[in-house]
Amino acid sequence: MKRFFAAWAIFSFLLATEMQGQTVVPNGGFENWVSGGSYQNPQFWDTPNQAISLLLPFGTKVVTKSTDHEAGSFSARLESKQLTFPSLVVPGVVTLGVLTIDVFGMTYAINGGAPITDKPTHLKGFYKFQPQGGDSCAIGIGLTKWNNGTRDSVGLGAFSTHDAVDVWTPFYAWIDYVLLEQPDTFNILAISSADSFPTPGTILYIDDISLDYTLGTDRNNPAAGIEIYQDRPEKQILVYFDFEKPEDTELQLFNMTGQPAARISPETLMKGRKILKYEGLSSGIYILEILHGEKKYCKKFFISD
């Protein structure tokens, strides 16, 4: 068991996702809710509500159904709240795993998640955030795989902010894969207070959560307008960009040891698009280097057969 309010450590329990089919996040729009008596939980998600209801049957709920939504009819509202007995602040938490809480011991454990047979590039969705006292929120995804009786971490991605956001805004949690293994389980976790000492009254709304398989807009240079897609049937990478002089663009592909894997020459340019064939390359993590003028952009991604 870990300290209940070691918020970033909670992501070590998040586990599993990869790239082939397209896994659907169970009840990612938070449209369906299940009654637990004095509280409701979003279907397929666990929250601290049950543990709190055992102490206060008619009292505090830190996760509730909200009609303030981005899509559909509902969203999940996560609020950090002060308990009177024991005297502590409990953050709003939702997870696809099983959340076990010892309120008096201030410890928690998260186990399990949802099955997955592919490898997404990132988790995305919409959020609103109303922090108190400099508090921050976090939304994360973890991917894992059983290996000889233990669970290995395959990939991890997280989004966090301490800025107030009053309108529905997209978020992206890009997944960094640490193993080439195919995960078998994934877990998503959102927490209203990611600080070690949560502040009562901090509120996080989340809605329309899904997995994405776009190789992605370059995170370090979002203004560059670079988008990368994997076309598995044709075994090729499609790179789109909106540079002023696209004909001056050059692509190079490297493996993780820094050895060149493929190079695209300027004459392959087609209206701001370049095609990188990867037939014959083994599955693994590669670095795509995009050269334009005196600038260089790099993007790490996973190629799978």
Distances (CA, A) of 43 to 34, 37, 122, 170: 6, 14, 22, 23
Domain residue extents for the chain: 2-212, 216-303
Give the C-alpha separation, 44 to 32, whole Å.
9
Model confidence pTM above 0.75: no
CATH 3.30.1490.190 applies to domain 216-303: no
What pLDDT score does 76 carry? 98
Q: What is the mean pLDDT of each run of 10 residues along the chain (305 residues)?
A: 39 36 90 93 95 70 96 97 83 94 75 92 94 94 91 90 94 82 94 90 97 64 59 71 68 79 54 66 78 76 68
Task: Let me know if 86 is exposed, middle or buried by CB neighbors in 10 A (0-12, 13-18, 19+).
Answer: exposed
- In this prediction, residue 267 carries a pLDDT of 45
What is the predicted pLDDT for the residue at 222?
45
User: CATH code for 2-212?
Assistant: 2.60.120.890
Predicted local confidence at residue 58, as pLDDT: 55
The answer to whether 285 touches 302, Cβ cutoff 8 Å, is: yes
Residue 251 confidence (pLDDT): 77
- The pLDDT score that the predictor gives to residue 120 is 87
pLDDT at 13: 36
pLDDT at 47: 96
